């Protein structure tokens, strides 16, 4: 279904004669909507659901990126520099190597946090955070944020 979506988006670009990224994005969205309205097979329904989840996941990540960037700016520009760095152990619900890698990368891409290690049994991830007030709150934010959405995408 992704291939069909891409082919329809490329066809849109060819029909409009505009070979730009913005036109491809418009074609991709239009092709997605056409597939959503016309395809009713199990594969199409699963693709449409995942594409929608991926769209919301991307929005969630961008929101977290802006919020964490702002927090880092505030911490760095505060005259007292009252940071509370910590290494927090996060128990993992994700089990596949791809999901663990994705979670680790998303945490590392978020300013102020860095994935340090994963336990050998893949049950715990160790994350360094620049400013942790409450370790339980930080742990819950990772589990209810990135990890929850990765689990949704994996289904």
How do residues 116-140 score in pLDDT, each as one tens digit? 999 999 999 999 999 888 999 999 9
| Residue 113 bridge partners (DSSP) | 129
The SS3 assignment for 110 reads: coil
Mean pLDDT of 29-44: 76
pTM: 0.71
Considering 2-11, 39-48, 123-132, the range whose residues carry the highest mean pLDDT is 123-132
In angstroms, rounded to a whole number, what is the distance separating the alpha carbons of residues 23 and 16? 9
Q: Tell me: pLDDT of 48 over 80.
A: no
Sequential DSSP letters for 17-83: T--SHHHHHHHHHHHHHHHHHH--SHHHHHHHHHHHHHHHHHHHHHHHHHHHHHHHHHHHHSTT---
Phi and psi (nearest 5°) for 106?
A: -65, -40
């Amino acid at each position: 279904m992704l291939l069909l979506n891409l082919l329809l988006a490329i066809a849109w670009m060819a029909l409009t004669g505009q070979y730009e990224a913005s036109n491809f994005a418009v074609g991709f969205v239009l092709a997605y909507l056409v597939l959503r309205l016309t395809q009713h097979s199990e594969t199409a329904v699963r693709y449409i659901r995942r594409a929608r989840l991926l769209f919301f996941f991307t929005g969630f990540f961008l929101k977290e990126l802006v919020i964490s960037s702002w927090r880092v700016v505030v911490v760095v520009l505060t005259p007292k520099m009252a940071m509370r760095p910590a290494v927090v152990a996060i128990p993992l619900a994700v089990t596949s190597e791809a999901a663990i890698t994705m979670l680790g990368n998303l945490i590392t891409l978020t300013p102020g946090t860095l994935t340090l290690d994963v336990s050998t049994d893949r049950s715990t991830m160790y994350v360094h955070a620049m400013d942790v007030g409450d370790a339980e709150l930080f742990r819950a934010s990772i589990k209810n944020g990135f990890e929850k959405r990765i689990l949704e995408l994996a289904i």
